[in-house]
Chains A and B, each alone.
Chain A
Amino acid sequence: MKNTEKGIGKEAIRESRKLKLKIFMKNKLAVVGLVITILIVFLGVFADVICPEGPYVMDIAKRYIEPCGEYIFGTDKMGRDVFARIVYGIRISLLVGAVTTLVTFIFGMVLGMIAGYFKKVDNIIMRICEALMSIPPVLMAIALMSALEPSITSVIMSLCIVYTPQIARVARGATIAAKENTYIEAATAQGASSLRILLHHIAPNILSPVIVQGTYIFATAIILEASLSFLGAGIPAPAPSLGNILYEAKEGIFTANWLTIYPGIAMVLTVLGINILGDGLRDVLDPKSN
């Protein structure tokens, strides 16, 4: 009896996955987002294949060359190839975004589930989260950067501290909602341990809203990293990130507009792709919101 029920369950899950995939593929915009994101990720991942000479090659003789055959996006004030810098910048931006999302996802899930499940610690965890969320993100991130050595790791750490409370809040809300379900009560009545209930019954049920929130964090983390770098408080030079490429472009803005335009487009496309993808995911995972 139990086995067949499980079998049916799996079948149903497979069916619903197929259906979700269908909904997603039907959403043309989401597919466009997917294509953009795959292209951008491709550029980032294969940066050293696309531009084997790397982003640091300087040639003072070739400063401020306009976009041409050899340098399709031109060169900057130190004669570096802007295209190479953009490709490596995408790599760093994506890395920062992905690691931040992953880390906040894990910490946020754990904190949110604990807060939502155990009433005693709920207040403490949520007060701390609320306090952290009352500092506007940009401000919080630069304040954190002031306390850390400037490096990629510091940037990622700051972003994680900024965004973990957001995930935690969503996870907590979903946990509280999931706890109301009768099957959780049934599991509790059967004497299942809290850990088992959290991992087996609650975690799978709160994944959808957390993943949706996660895609937004991916996108905003990239923007926030860029803003930090743009202020000179993010990824330290000479390593390229989309933000500090634009920061350096500021100096040449009156003479070399390509330094602003192409990295700007790359930045927007990166974030846009992820945002569209996130919207598509939201439509699939959370049909109510549409």
Chain B
Amino acid sequence: MKKYVGKRIFSVIVTLFVLSLFIFFLTHSTAGDPASNMLGSDATEEQVEQLREELGLNDPLLTQYFNWIADALKGDFGDSYFRKQSVIEAIGECITPTLELALYAEILAIIISIPCGIFAAKKKGAATDLGVSAFALVGLSVPCFIYGLLLILYFGVDLGVLPVSGYKTIEEYGTSEHFSYMVLPIISLALTQAPLLTRITRSSMVEVLSLDYIKTAKAKGLKGTTILTKHAFRNAFNTILTVLGQSIGSLVAGAAVIETLFNIPGMGQLVVNAVLKRDYPLIQGLVLVISLVYIVINFTIDMLYGVIDPRIRVSGKS
């Protein structure tokens, strides 16, 4: 187990290193000069040159990279060009709505998809299975903003019962207000996540159900539901968990579209605005932070794996 953890930590560090290189050079290979972007077209050449010097843009690339990394390790991603605050402040301000949204959506997606997947696997080949599979296939083909637009059309425009834009914190406005603003974004995101989770649950359950130990469990006299939920699901859960980790990560990013659509001041919207305004320090910081969240989630899940699957606990292999 120790070896396993060590190996994973090492690979996370390598990944982060490559990632930081990628992000840094991505934002420095661009045509536009941030200094002249910031100052606008009225600025004189001296002003631009002075700003370039201040921002360290005249240093060799490698020096710039190491400075950036050194600062980043201290939690300092520099200042946003356009927001009058540091990158880390901007992220801190915007992270809560995104995490809330992702968390709620993931929970809803799990509630929908895991029972559906198990049920479909149990009734493999029957009408219910075909129904669930067909829904999952259609669901997989719908981008989240289409769900969002349709929900806005129906609940916001036709029925007019739910707000379609904005964000209210729990602390200030209370739970019901908070959720009335969140419900449509949550459903849109959950509906994009649920089909994949359903499919994975179904296929891994189908696989497990064909294994020998399921027969052993039946030969013991266990009930069908016990076999399904205890013996089969515990084994299928590993696969489901991996996909769950990936889906939480993609939710944080996928929130970008939904946050823009529903005008929620989260990280997604921050990313989109940063990209549209070419606010490079902010882009760098955001990509790094979101990827870090993604990596940490997957790392945690890998560790959970070790707890859940006794085989990995011992051998250290996945």
Q: Which A residues form the contact surface with B (CB < 8 A)?
A: 29, 127-128, 130-132, 134-140, 142-149, 219, 223, 226-227, 230-233, 246, 249-250, 253-254, 257, 260-261, 264, 267-268, 271-272, 274-276, 279, 289
User: What are the residues of chain A within 8 A of B152 when measuring CB–CB?
Assistant: 253
B18 at the interface (CB under 8 A from A): yes
Q: Which of B144, B146, B250, B260 has the most CB of A within 10 A?
A: B146
Interface size class of B (residues with CB under 8 A): 35 or more
Closest 7 CB pairs of A and B: A136-B253, A131-B18, A272-B141, A271-B141, A146-B275, A139-B253, A131-B19
A-B contact pairs, 12 of them (CB 8 A): A134-B295, A135-B294, A139-B290, A142-B272, A143-B287, A146-B30, A227-B145, A227-B257, A264-B149, A275-B140, A276-B137, A289-B203
B96 at the interface (CB under 8 A from A): no
Q: Which of A142, A246, A250 has the most CB of B within 10 A?
A: A142
- Bound state CA distance, A131 and B6, in angstroms? 18
Contact A142 B275 (CB under 8 A): yes
- Bound state CA distance, A138 and B283, in angstroms? 13
Contact B275 A145 (CB under 8 A): yes
Contact B153 A230 (CB under 8 A): no
A contact face: mostly helix, strand, loop, or mixed: helix
B254 at the interface (CB under 8 A from A): yes
Partner of A136, one of B203, B254, B276: B254
The number of residue pairs between A and B whose CB atoms lie closer than 8 Å in the complex comes to 141
Smallest CB gap from A230: residue in B: B145
- Bound state CA distance, A226 and B143, in angstroms? 8
- Bound state CA distance, A139 and B23, in angstroms? 12
Partner of B256, one of A145, A231, A246: A231
Contact A267 B146 (CB under 8 A): yes
User: What are the residues of chain B within 8 A of A257 when measuring CB–CB?
Assistant: 153, 157
Q: Which B residues form the contact surface with A (CB < 8 A)?
A: 11, 14-19, 22-23, 26-27, 29-31, 134, 137-138, 140-146, 149-150, 152-153, 157, 203, 249-250, 252-254, 256-257, 260-261, 271-272, 274-276, 278, 280, 283, 286-287, 290-291, 294-295, 298
Contact A279 B260 (CB under 8 A): no
- Bound state CA distance, A38 and B144, in angstroms? 25
Contact B15 A131 (CB under 8 A): yes
User: What are the residues of chain A within 8 A of B144 when measuring CB–CB?
Assistant: 227
- Bound state CA distance, A134 and B17, in angstroms? 12
Smallest CB gap from A289: residue in B: B203
User: What are the residues of chain A within 8 A of B278 when measuring CB–CB?
Assistant: 146
User: What are the residues of chain A within 8 A of B22 when measuring CB–CB?
Assistant: 131-132
Contact A127 B29 (CB under 8 A): no
User: What are the residues of chain B within 8 A of A130 when measuring CB–CB?
Assistant: 11, 15, 18
